[in-house]
C-alpha cells in the first residue's frame, strides 16, 4: 500500500521555533532542538526546517544552530532559508541535511538551481512555491517581496522541473496556520503540469485533510501548526499521528 510521507515543518525566526498564521502573525513555540528530540521519539518520517527570517536579514541559515539540529536529528531532514550560493548549500549538506529547500533564490537565480542539481543531484533539490491568490488568481509569493505577485505557479513548477529540481513544496499562503485544509485545487493543477513529487503544505489540520491532498495529486503532506498544537485552545504540544492512525487514514486514498 502507498504510504505517503507525513512531514512536520519547523519554522525558525531568529533561532527560535515559531508558528505563523497567513505569514504575518508569529507565535513563539519553543526551542527547536528540543522539538527535534521529541520528533525523534515520535519516529517522524522526515523534517523540513526553514529559517523564515534568513532572507530578510540577508544572511543564510545559522550554521552553528544547524549543526546542533543535525546532531540531534535521527530522521532525514531538509533545510531552507537564505540559500543563495553553492557555498551555503555545501555547508548545509555537510551538517547532515538530505535536501536543501530553495525559495526566493530559485525565483531570482535560475542558474543556481541548475548548478545545484548538477552538483548534488535533483533528488537533493527541493523548491518551495509559496502561493497567494491575488484577485482570485494564484501567484508565486516571496517573503522578501523581491518577487511578489508575479508568476503563475503552474508555469513556475514546470520551469523548476526543467531546471533540475527534484521536488516541489506547494505552500498556500492563504491557508497558512488556519488548519482548515490544503488548497487542493492548486495541488491538482500543479500535479497535472509536472511529474515532480509534490509536498502539500499550508492549512493541514487533520489526517483527513492529508488524504484529500494526496487524492488531489500530492505525494507527501507537510504541516506546522498540526504538529505543534493540540486541542481547540491550541495548547503547545509536539505531536505526530501514530503509525496505526496513519495507516487507517491512508486506506482512504483513492
User: With the C-alpha atoms ordered 187, 172, 13, 81, is the resulting torsion angle positive or negative?
Assistant: positive
- HSE (CB half, 13 Å, CA atoms) of 106? 36
Cα separations in angstroms, 190 against 35, 58, 88, 230: 32, 30, 29, 31
Q: How far is CA 74 from the centre of its chain?
A: 18
> Is residue 127 within 8 Å of 134, Cβ to Cβ?
no
Kindly state the cell numbers that stand for 12: 525558525
Q: Is 45 a catalytic residue?
A: no
User: What is the C-alpha separation between 205 and 32, in angstroms, rounded?
Assistant: 21
For 181, the grid coordinates are 485544509
Catalytic position from the list 130, 176, 183, 209: 130
H or E stretch at 29 = strand 25-30
Q: Residues with catalytic annotation?
A: 130
Amino acid at each position: 500500500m502507498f504510504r505517503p510521507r507525513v512531514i512536520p515543518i519547523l519554522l525558525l525566526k531568529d533561532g527560535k521555533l515559531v508558528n505563523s498564521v497567513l505569514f504575518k502573525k508569529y507565535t513563539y513555540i519553543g526551542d527547536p532542538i528540543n522539538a527535534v528530540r521529541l520528533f525523534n521519539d515520535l519516529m517522524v518520517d522526515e523534517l523540513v526546517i526553514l529559517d523564515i527570517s534568513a532572507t530578510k536579514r540577508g544572511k543564510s541559515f545559522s550554521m552553528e544552530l544547524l549543526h546542533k539540529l543535525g546532531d540531534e536529528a535521527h530522521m532525514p531532514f531538509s533545510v531552507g532559508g537564505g540559500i543563495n550560493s553553492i557555498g551555503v548549500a555545501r555547508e548545509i549538506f555537510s551538517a547532515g541535511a538530505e535536501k536543501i529547500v530553495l525559495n526566493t533564490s530559485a525565483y531570482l537565480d535560475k542558474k543556481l538551481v541548475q548548478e545545484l542539481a548538477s552538483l548534488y543531484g535533483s533528488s537533493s533539490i527541493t523548491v518551495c512555491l509559496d502561493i497567494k491568490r491575488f484577485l482570485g488568481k494564484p501567484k508565486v509569493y516571496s517573503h522578501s517581496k523581491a518577487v511578489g505577485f508575479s508568476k503563475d505557479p503552474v508555469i513556475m513548477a514546470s520551469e523548476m522541473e526543467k531546471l533540475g529540481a527534484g521536488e516541489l513544496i506547494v505552500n498556500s499562503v492563504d491557508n497558512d496556520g488556519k488548519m482548515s485544509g490544503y488548497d487542493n485545487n492548486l495541488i491538482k493543477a500543479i500535479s497535472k503540469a509536472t511529474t515532480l513529487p509534490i509536498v502539500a503544505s499550508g492549512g493541514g489540520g487533520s489526517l483527513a485533510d492529508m488524504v484529500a491532498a494526496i487524492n488531489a495529486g500530492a505525494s507527501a503532506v507537510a504541516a506546522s501548526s498540526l504538529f505543534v498544537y493540540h486541542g481547540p485552545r491550541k495548547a503547545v504540544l509536539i505531536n505526530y499521528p501514530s503509525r496505526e492512525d496513519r495507516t487507517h487514514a491512508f486506506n482512504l486514498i483513492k
